[in-house]
Homo-oligomer: A and B are copies of this chain.
Amino acid sequence: MAKTVEESEDDTGKQGAYTVQALDNAISLLMLVADNPDLGLSDLSRKLGAGKARVYRQLKTLEDRGLVSCSEPHRTYRLGYAALLLGAKASAQIDLVQSAKPFLDRLGKALQETVQLRVLDGQESVCVANWVPDRDLRVQTPVGSRTPLYAGSGKILLAYMPEAEQAHILSLPRKRFTDGTMVDEGALKAILSQIRHDGYGVSRGEMEAALISAAAPIFGQGSRIVGVLVVGAPATRMDNERLQHTLDLVCAAARELTAVIGGSPPSSVVRPGSF
């Protein structure tokens, strides 16, 4: 029934020639614990399609190193402090995140709306850093949250992606979230080229009806897109004037951030006078 993890070969699970299985399996376990906290040994081994002995030993090893911890009442596992510290160190080491923080801060404080930095991961967009305002009604997007590439701010990542990959993504089935979700390939392609032309993108309720977001691309060396800066707000707080203002700030921030990390925007978006 439950297809075993080790034999998956198609989707993301292609393991390079240099994979250490013992380690790769253990990472699967770690990720499983991350995604499903508070499962017991049996549940974990079942979901992994692996023997209990293996899972048990891997768990204990991870536990010894503090990456997972075992809650005593009913022997249930979740991530431990070492995972927390690892994340803190990662956020300090990853250039893009580190460089983006002051920009997120500044944008957030200026607009008092949720600001995110999102990057491409597989066929999705992941939030890797954010700033959230301290108000009752706000857009909530925790670090780690994922969205597809064909809706909302993901479109910016899609728009600037290498042709081949983009075509592949476009060939995948799309799910409708709201009335505004772009499911038609033609319309989507048109928007993507619009985004490339404008150098920014706006989503009006594509993922969530009452939500508007404004996003601008960040580029690295060789004009490769490395992330998007996104401001998300309740539609009620985003009239046209305010949207324009938001776009100005986001685009400026994205341009600056691109410069900071030593990247360069593709030639097509270099407007007259900007050089």
Chain A residues numbered 33-84 whose CB sits less than 8 Å from any CB in chain B: 34-35, 37, 56-58, 60-62, 64-67, 69, 78-84
- Once A24-B65, A61-B27 are accepted as A-B contacts, the answer to whether A83 and B90 lie under 8 Å apart by CB is yes
B24 lies within 8 A of A64 (CB): yes
Asked whether, in the complex, the Cβ of B87 is within 8 Å of the Cβ of A18, the reply is no
Q: Is B143's CB under 8 angstroms from A62's CB?
A: no
Task: Name the residue of chain B whose CB is nearest to the CB of A27.
Answer: B65
A89 touches B83 (CB 8 A): yes
A84 to B31, CA, bound (A): 12
A88 at the interface (CB under 8 A from B): yes
- A19-B64, A60-B19, A61-B24 known; A93-B79 Cβ under 8 A: yes
Is A20 a contact of B61 with CB atoms below 8 Å? yes
A19-B57, A23-B26, A58-B23 given as contacts; is B85 within 8 A of A79 (CB)? no
| A129 CB, nearest partner CB in chain B, Å | 8
Q: Is A123 an interface residue (CB 8 A)?
A: no
> Is A225 interfacial (CB 8 A cutoff)?
no
Flag if B22 contacts A22 (CB, 8 Å).
yes
Q: Mark A87-125, 1 if CB is under 8 A from B, else 0.
A: 111111110010000000000000000000001010000
Indicate whether A8 reaches chain B with its CB closer than 8 angstroms.
no
- Are B121's CB and A94's CB within 8 A? no
Pick from B57, B60, B79, B119: contact of A86, CB below 8 A: B79
Closest Cβ–Cβ distance, residue A174 to chain B (whole Å): 24
With the chains together, A108 CA to B170 CA distance in Å?
46
Q: How far is the CA of A87 from the CA of B89 in the complex (A)?
A: 9
Distance of A26 Cα from B126 Cα, bound (Å): 26
Partner of A143, one of B23, B80, B85: B85
Are B93 and A144 closer than 8 Å at their CB atoms?
A: no
In angstroms, Cα B81 to Cα A119, docked, is: 9
Residues of A within 8 A of B (CB): 15-16, 18-20, 22-24, 26-27, 30-31, 34-35, 37, 56-58, 60-62, 64-67, 69, 78-94, 97, 119, 121, 126, 128, 142-144
Told that A85-B128, A87-B88 touch, could you supply 8 new A-B pairs with CB distance under 8 A?
Answer: A15-B61, A23-B61, A24-B65, A31-B65, A79-B93, A81-B119, A88-B142, A92-B142
Query: Could you show 20 A-B contacts with beta carbons less than 8 Å apart?
Result: A16-B60, A18-B56, A18-B61, A19-B57, A20-B61, A23-B26, A24-B64, A27-B61, A27-B67, A31-B65, A80-B90, A80-B94, A81-B90, A83-B90, A84-B87, A84-B128, A84-B144, A85-B143, A88-B144, A92-B142
